[in-house]
Chain A
């Protein structure tokens, strides 16, 4: 059958090819041209006379001239920016941020889905496999939404910022095509991974499925790092000279000083964000259901999502620290614009958001302790953890310098409050944030221990070591912050914060190592999934809302540090929106984007549930009745 079809198609194709050649050959042959043979064949540019040097076509000559004199970045005037009656920046802001939210979500979900699938494979517990499949199901529409938003964003950018986009096209050249091509790969792996879930479920086929998931993640991550290179080029251009003319190859253009810090920061943040969003789905399903079995399932799903979100969130400040350090190293002026200039106030809002995330994450863990009877051993510690969290949160949000009138300054006795002033500067905030992370890890550790009883002989010594590590790390963080922060100059202040972060990391890593060893073969106490107060589920809503708002805020800061430049130092922004807006304006924009995202996510979840719904066939008219 197959053979006979092929036999029919082959001669037909051959015939078509001959026909095509037959049409084109006379066209070339019948063009007589004028002058010498060389002149007549030059326009074709394919033929070279024997013994003659290669022909130079006009386009080649132009290319040589162009390569001698690279083109500088354009310098559009205000009238070069199309005015459609609405703030161009506001439109791009909304679309870009929404695109980024969905992009983050659909890059993160396959990542932890793959890990959960692997856990399922190694533990043999099919619940993991089903949960991973469900995570994919609820985020599937997100891929289409991301693509729609990305396409709209590109069109809007070409419409509203034509000179800027022309420049970016010129700088990144064929990389755009690679970027577009990757979507074919990602779509292929996405659909085969999702729809092949049950077809490749066991044995060797499972490894095929896992490979598909791996390739899905590989193509997704490549898309992300390519897109990141545009953002980081705009912040810290490389591969171009001081007027923006391209002087390096595409790799030199992409590999700017901020590329890898942004890659790492976004990679980790995406996981935290994705975990938080699917956690909200689980919480909603938990609250909507009265079936104990379903509640148990969604409680477990919510816990797993929260676990992913908080685990990814803990190292995020360190990635952020690296990014800011690289920004300072690239341009101290840019760093200070972000951290000490007009944008510095936004970090107060950031503190409120991160405080919310940590409080919600901790609250969920404390509430989740009620699932096991063994948690009674640790509950007495919760009030102390809560106290530390609240105090450190308040220190973190304490502002330093305020805009004050003369009378207010005289009432205050100076531009800073004599008690609260010292709490407003970085050393106090470094102490606060490190302690917040440490006690959050403590909550997590207590939760993980609450359903286990260690059986190893050295358990008391292990506990004593753990307590000692906590005490020493906390003392070290406070000492470093106070001594080097207030009694030496700025250079040591910055240096000491690295040691503080290291202390926090030591607690986290040693905690994981000690607990892994100490609770090997531990006695497991019964857990009752679904035995958690309803109010705890609201923490799972607070997390994605705070994460979304936080991403919107920090994305705004990242973009605004360029001030009045499209591409920092090489292409000025002369559009009507080339100023940094007020914080309240930025807050309104971020809220609009967050609410739009929330609605889109609701749609995504609704569509996911729709696929599992089947309408009951209506009774036939004039039936038995």
Chain B
């Protein structure tokens, strides 16, 4: 019996060690794409570009392969100006496609990736005649034409080029299955800096940042001296809890559901440092 307990104890202990290792690693969930409708009534080109970026990074799974060297298994298209590069590709004698411009070339690359394979990136043994890239409008990725347009718009806009694809029509909306959970046309990609976050949520429409001047809401140049970071956080999440005298309850109360945790933290830290 003693042997049984000793060996069982050893075996269970070892099992728990392996379990512990899984707790030490980053904990991430891989969410399945969620079907959503795009509100065409309020869709701007900026939203459309943001949707494209979101699709590129999430549902489209483009970044699985299109990474900066040496990690990438496909050209680093986020790191390159695709409009300028498209012109070179179209002029390449190896190019056999039908595209006439950058937008056409990008779209063709998604629908028929083997039409032009960038040198050294072809399937092994194919002599760069066959691309390992999946066709993007087919399973498992299955982007709609509107989603591919959004990605094209993003790839044009990210380097400051003119966006030549048109905003989607109402007919296109019916077939849209937009971004994954947390991302949609009305909730574009998370902001990277406090400035971006404040621009995204239009804080400056109602608050002056460099003076005490009252617009719709109070000026925030000295907000860090008046409020603690916790109070600033409360003012954003629940603006009607404590009202500054003389101001109407006009601030949206739904930032708590719209902002990411990181965006909220960036804005709070930024405002907490503004002491006049």
Contact = CB atoms under 8 A, between A and B. Distances in A.
Interface in A287-302: 287-288
Interface in B1-39: 3-4, 6-8, 10-12, 14-16, 18-19, 21-23, 25-33
Interface string B44-78: 00000000000000000100110001111100000
A340 B22 contact: no
Contacts of A489: 69-70, 120
A579 B65 contact: no
A538 interface: yes
Given A332-B132, A349-B22, A579 B31 contact: yes
Interface of A: 242, 283-284, 287-288, 331-333, 336-337, 340-343, 345, 348-349, 352-353, 356, 399, 402-403, 489-491, 538, 541-542, 545-546, 549, 560, 563-565, 568-570, 573, 578-584, 586-588, 590-591, 594-595, 598
A342 B3 contact: no
Residue of B8, B22, B26 ringed by the most chain A CB atoms within 10 A: B22
A333 B14 contact: no
A287 B3 contact: yes
Contact of A332 (B25, B26, B65): B65
B124 interface: yes
B103 interface: no
Given A242-B139, A489-B69, A349 B27 contact: no
A332 B113 CA distance: 13
B7 A284 contact: yes
A331 B65 CA distance: 12
B21 A587 contact: yes
Given A331-B140, A565-B140, A570-B139, 7 more contacts: A348-B25, A403-B26, A545-B11, A546-B14, A546-B18, A565-B139, A583-B27
Contacts of A569: 138-140
Contact of A587 (B22, B31, B65, B141): B22
B239 interface: no
A361 to B, nearest CB: 14
Contact of B140 (A333, A348, A578, A587): A333
Contacts of B10: 538, 541-542
B133 interface: yes
Nearest to B69: A489
Given A287-B7, A333-B140, A580 B19 contact: no
Contacts of A402: 26
Interface string B83-127: 000000000000000000000000000000000000010001000
Contacts of B33: 564
Please provide the 4 A-B residue pairs with the shortest distance between their CB atoms, ordered closest to farther: A587-B22, A580-B30, A564-B32, A569-B139
B31 to A, nearest CB: 5
Residue of A349, A403, A490, A587 ringed by the most chain B CB atoms within 10 A: A587
Given A541-B10, A595-B15, A587 B3 contact: no
B218 interface: no
Contact of A563 (B3, B12, B134, B140): B140
A473 to B, nearest CB: 25
Nearest to A573: B32
Contact of B29 (A283, A538, A581): A581
Interface in B195-251: none
Contacts of A340: 64, 71
B32 A342 contact: no
B65 A345 contact: no
B220 to A, nearest CB: 23
Contacts of A587: 18-19, 21-23
Contacts of B3: 284, 287-288
Contacts of B7: 283-284, 287, 538, 541
Main SS class of interface, A? helix
Main SS class of interface, B? loop
Nearest to B18: A549
B50 to A, nearest CB: 22
Contacts of A549: 15, 18
A287 B7 CA distance: 9
A120 B52 CA distance: 68
A583 B27 CA distance: 6
A9 to B, nearest CB: 56
B127 to A, nearest CB: 13
A541 B140 contact: no
Residue of B4, B16, B30, B70 ringed by the most chain A CB atoms within 10 A: B30
A583 B25 contact: yes
Nearest to B181: A579
A336 B140 CA distance: 14
A331 B139 contact: no
Contacts of B72: 490
A586 B25 CA distance: 12
Interface in B234-274: none
Contacts of B64: 333, 336-337, 340-341
14 contacts: A332-B73, A343-B30, A349-B21, A352-B18, A356-B14, A541-B10, A545-B15, A546-B18, A563-B32, A565-B139, A578-B32, A583-B22, A591-B18, A598-B12
Contact of A591 (B19, B26, B140): B19
A458 B11 CA distance: 47
A491 B6 CA distance: 50
Contacts of A288: 3
A594 B12 CA distance: 9
A552 to B, nearest CB: 10
Contacts of B22: 349, 583-584, 586-588
Given A242-B138, A545-B14, A563-B140, A582 B29 contact: yes
B65 A333 contact: yes
A545 B15 CA distance: 7
Nearest to B61: A333
A625 to B, nearest CB: 31
B240 to A, nearest CB: 32
Nearest to A286: B3
A547 to B, nearest CB: 11
A345 B31 CA distance: 16
Contacts of B73: 332, 336, 490
Nearest to A488: B70
Contacts of A545: 11, 14-15
